[in-house]
Chain A
Amino acid sequence: DAKTTQPTSMDCAEGRAANLPCNHSTISGNEYVYWYRQIHSQGPQYIIHGLKNNETNEMASLIITEDRKSSTLILPHATLRDTAVYYCIALDISNFGNEKLTFGTGTRLTIIP
């Protein structure tokens, strides 16, 4: 699976949009981009995933560049409860049996009141 690079930490004002970047310049055509987040001392929570089209759900939007070398997770109206570590993961889903999610160190997002 492609390696992903994320900033170590970011701050965002409450009520503003939080934009979390992820670089995955070596991503292959079979690899999806997944986002999870982990609130302190809890298990990770799935947020969203996508292949090449932009995706939106009730939690967030995912914008993937046309060349697929980077993506941005957008939390449209950040609240204090969005303070967490956010993980961007590139995953090859065509290789059945490649079962593991590889979590890096992620981005620690702090929402400022």
Chain B
Amino acid sequence: DGGITQSPKYLFRKEGQNVTLSCEQNLNHDAMYWYRQDPGQGLRLIYYSQIVNDFQKGDIAEGYSVSREKKESFPLTVTSAQKNPTAFYLCASNKRGGVQETQYFGPGTRLLVL
């Protein structure tokens, strides 16, 4: 079945540690996105990528990094510079650059700092 997968479902991070969240899609979508959601809040855009080997900062990129070496994959690294990383992280993709095409979301990864 086509879709977006995110792993792991839950992730625990120690203080000062970098962690990487996985996002894979087999929908042949060009564009991919990372959002962060805090309790009771809407989603905020961290990074997005319209094409392989290119990505742009969203509204809250500080403390995060991404790569887009393959069309299917858009991993997000939460670095130690992100001071409040506990949140629900959502990956999305759509057919071409530009959100006029419907975005499809993955199931999310919940990150908790110990």
Chain A residues near B (Cβ < 8 Å): 32, 41-46, 49, 87, 91, 93, 96-106
Q: 1/0 per position for B91-114, CB-CB distance to A under 8 A?
A: 110000111101111111010000
State the CA gap A42–B91 with chains docked (Å).
11
A99–B98 CB distance below 8 A = yes
Q: A96-B98, A99-B50 are in contact. Are A42 and B108 (CB under 8 A)?
A: yes
A101–B43 CB distance below 8 A = yes
Which bracket fits the contact residues of B? 20 to 34
B98–A100 CB distance below 8 A = no
CB distance from B96 to the nearest CB of A (A): 10
B102–A46 CB distance below 8 A = yes
A41–B99 CB distance below 8 A = no
Chain B residues near A (Cβ < 8 Å): 4, 31, 33, 35, 40-45, 48, 50, 56, 58-59, 88, 90-92, 97-100, 102-108, 110
A44–B100 CB distance below 8 A = no
* Contact with B104, one of A46, A87, A93, A98 (Cβ below 8 angstroms): A46
B45–A100 CB distance below 8 A = yes
Q: A41-B88, A43-B105, A44-B90 are in contact. Are A97 and B98 (CB under 8 A)?
A: yes
Q: A87-B42, A105-B40 are in contact. Are A99 and B108 (CB under 8 A)?
A: no
